[in-house]
Chains A and B, each alone.
Chain A
Amino acid sequence: MSIVGATAAELLARMERGDTNSEEVTTAYLDVIAAHDEDVKAFVHVDREAALDAAREVDRQRQAGEKLGLLAGLPVAVKDIMCTRDVPTTCCSKMLANYVPPYDAHAVTLLRNAGAVLIGKTNMDEFAMGSSTEHSYFGATRNPWDLERAPGGSSGGSAAAVASQMAPLAVGTDTGGSIRQPAGFCGVVGMKPTYGRISRYGLVAFASSLDQIGPFASDTAGAALLLEAMSGYDNRDSTCIDTPVHPYSKTVEEPLAGLKIGVAKEHFVDGLDPEVETAINNALGVYESQGAELREISLPHSKYAVSVYYLIAPSEASSNLARYDGVHYGHRAESFENMIDMFSASRGEGFGHEVKRRVMLGTYALSAGYYDAYYLKALKVRRLIREDFDTAFQDVDVIVSPVSPTPAFKLGAHDDDPLGMYLSDIYTLSANLAGLPGISIPAGMSSDGLPIGLQVLAPPLEEDRVLRAARMFERETNWHTQRAPLAGQSS
């Protein structure tokens, strides 16, 4: 049986039995990258020799009978927004095109400690701002299911890497759906944990009250494994949650008896693609057949999520991105008149249009005269959105919904329509605003042959419930076993 296409758990078992080793596994994935990434553009940085050195070191440890970590020998692709020591970390921005961090993000340290082989850095929307990975300074990633379509974003490179079998596991970040939406578009599993479950130390900040790191895999067991490896307290991120990490990978196979599923009537409205709606309804049927109970719930403020998010996230971004001034690191303009002009010219040259749009939007919303009307108003409605969930979760264990209103859209579809792109995030944004864990799993295929995702949300710190509920559906269906045609062979 081939290495490429196997699940993370299968690969670990085969390495453990001695049927293969990390060098062989890593080589197999590097070969897929070499053969097909010119078409997909999932990666922005791959160092073959460094990856193979790391793989051989894990093989040596295994041979020597040393204690191995959770991910021993597994290749993992990492979004290019997480700092990796001595390895370029660009956020796919001209601003950071030459930036090489002198330290590892906490989650990267945990990956290394767990024996993961970092196989490469993945493409993304510049500074994670976007829903299509088209806003990358290095060019768009393409959807492995149809190279003319977007993979979603902002973690489109990580989703496409797993979907095109260039890595069994990948790491992304999710500020408003940037893991779940590309997972849905690319037909893989992607999970956003509770805000604070994984340390943000060394994650380049976009919107600090919303950003969260999370896993991609071809199945829920792989996502559980990667989540478990990256979770845990770190005092370098003061918003990191100090509670023990659940052994997600050990319990993911256990079904949830008497599961009560909330279905929000506000999620089934105009704009929802009929094929997506059908897939979600079919999925609800699968749950019912396993004894789950469906309950209608109401999330009356969900229609305000786009407005709230696109005020809060750009406001935080405008503040966070103030650090790029051409002084300590990043792009500095060649010509300028004085210090202030150096800042402005460097930023004007270093940022792409979507980043400028959001910095401007955020600066406007925070500026004198507009702060109360926009930023403060958004914070108040954020609480109303959170309270909707608190009320709903008194009645149900999880909430099931679409991930996106449509399957993957065409590259360029939203070029002149930023608001249209923002509106496509309607189903994912609320989980970030409320801080909830959520997952996207493959749950159908459109008539055009594009994957359709299903979202499962739960109350804070109930990652285990999210994963087990997702696994209940996955076990009864075959959507997660479908593989995108490899690049170049796509019809």
Chain B
Amino acid sequence: MTTELTRDEIQRVAVLARLKLSDAELDSLTSELAQILGHMDQLNELDTEDVEPMVHAIELKNVFRTDEIRESLPRDEALANAPKSDGRYFHVPQILEGS
């Protein structure tokens, strides 16, 4: 059983997922995802109209803690793993035009 899935659709999902994929990857993912999603169509056998979705193993709500001031990571440690920084800020490519 396979689900209908086009390469264009996979390309659209890759854009949503912010993944740059090669042509070969797009091809293999199209067939792999179709096969996997095809298996998952078995879930349609079940009537789940009146079933509450279960998002979590322990259904907790609103876990609060006191808002206390704590030590935060020193700036140099926070920046230590940055691909690009100037010792004060994370550096990213320019986003706004001009300036």
Given A380-B54, A381-B48, A384-B51, the answer on whether A356 and B19 have CB atoms closer than 8 Å is yes
Residues facing A in B41-75 (CB within 8 A) are 42-44, 46, 48, 51-58, 60, 63, 65, 73
Give the chain B neighbours of A345 by CB distance below 8 A.
20
Chain B residue, CB-CB nearest to A325 = B18
Are B53 and A359 in contact, with the CB atoms below 8 A? no
Task: For the complex of A and B, list the 3 residue pairs with the smallest distance between their C-beta atoms, beginning with the closest.
Answer: A435-B57, A348-B20, A379-B53
Q: Which of A304, A339, A348 contacts B42 (CB 8 A)?
A: A304
Q: Which residues of B contact A (CB under 8 A)?
A: 10, 13-22, 25, 28-29, 32-33, 35-37, 39-40, 42-44, 46, 48, 51-58, 60, 63, 65, 73, 77-78, 80-84, 90, 92-95
B16 touches A382 (CB 8 A): no
B46 touches A304 (CB 8 A): yes
CB–CB B73/A103 < 8 A: yes
* 30 contacts across the A-B interface (CB closer than 8 A): A102-B80, A102-B81, A307-B42, A308-B43, A326-B83, A327-B90, A328-B82, A328-B90, A331-B83, A339-B93, A339-B95, A341-B20, A344-B18, A345-B20, A347-B20, A348-B19, A351-B19, A356-B19, A357-B33, A359-B17, A360-B10, A379-B53, A380-B53, A383-B52, A383-B53, A384-B46, A419-B39, A434-B57, A460-B57, A460-B58
A209: min CB distance to chain B, Å: 5
For A340, give its contact among B18, B37, B63 (CB under 8 Å). B18
Task: Report B32 CB to chain A, min CB distance, Å.
Answer: 6
Among B10, B25, B53, B65, which residue has its beta carbon within 8 angstroms of that of A376? B53
Inter-chain contacts of B16 with A (CB < 8 A): 363, 367
The number of residue pairs between A and B whose CB atoms lie closer than 8 Å in the complex comes to 160
Quick check: is A77 within 8 A (CB to CB) of the other chain?
A: no
Instruction: Return B97 CB to nearest CB of chain A, in Å.
Output: 11
1/0 contact trace for A338-377 toward B, CB 8 Å? 1111111101110101001101110110010000001011
Alpha-carbon distance A411/B95, docked complex (angstroms): 46
The stretch that binds B, out of A10-18, A36-44, A165-173, A235-243, is A235-243
* B20 cross-chain contacts in A, Cβ below 8 A: 341, 344-345, 347-349
Contact among A327, A331, A363, A432 for B92, CB-based, below 8 A: A327
C-alpha gap A295/B15 in the complex (Å): 51
| Residue of A339, A340, A360, A386 most packed against chain B (CB within 10 A) | A360
Cross-chain contact B93 with A342 (CB below 8 angstroms): yes
Q: Closest A residue to B48 by CB, please name it.
A: A380
Q: Is the CB of B14 within 8 A of A306?
A: no
> Taking the nearest CB of chain A, how far is it from the CB of B81, in angstroms?
4
Given contacts A343-B18, A351-B19, contact A327 B29 (CB under 8 A): no
Distance from A394 Cβ to chain B, minimum over Cβ atoms (Å): 19
A320 to chain B, nearest CB (A): 12
Query: Which among B15, B35, B73, B92 has the highest number of chain A CB atoms within 10 Å?
Result: B92
**Which of A103, A341, A419 is in CB contact (< 8 Å) with B36?**
A419
In the assembled complex, the Cα of A383 lies from the Cα of B25 at a distance in Å of 35
Is the Cβ of A364 less than 8 Å from the Cβ of B43? no
User: How far is B35's CA from A433's CA once the two chains are assembled, in angstroms?
Assistant: 23
**In the complex the two chains form, is B48's CB within 8 Å of A377's CB?**
yes
Assess whether A210 is interfacial by the CB under 8 Å rule: yes
Interchain CB contact under 8 A, B73 and A102: yes
Q: Are B40 and A311 in contact (CB under 8 A)?
A: yes
Residue of A nearest to B74 (CB): A102
In the complex, residue of chain B having the shortest beta-carbon distance to the beta carbon of A308: B43
- Please determine whether B77 and A102 come into contact, CB atoms closer than 8 angstroms: yes
Q: How far is the CA of A98 from the CA of B80 in the complex (A)?
A: 11
User: A234 CA to B4 CA in the complex, in Å?
Assistant: 46
- What separation, in Å, do the CA atoms of A486 and B83 have in the docked complex? 41
- Select which of A303, A338, A360 is within 8 A of B13 by beta carbon: A360
A164 to B17, CA, bound (A): 40
Q: A339-B95, A381-B43 are in contact. Are A239 and B56 (CB under 8 A)?
A: yes
Q: Smallest Cβ distance from A197 to chain B, in angstroms?
A: 10
Does A196 reach chain B (CB closer than 8 Å)? yes
Contacts of B43 in A (CB 8 A): 304, 307-308, 377-378, 381
From B13, B53, B78, give the contact of A102 (CB < 8 A): B78
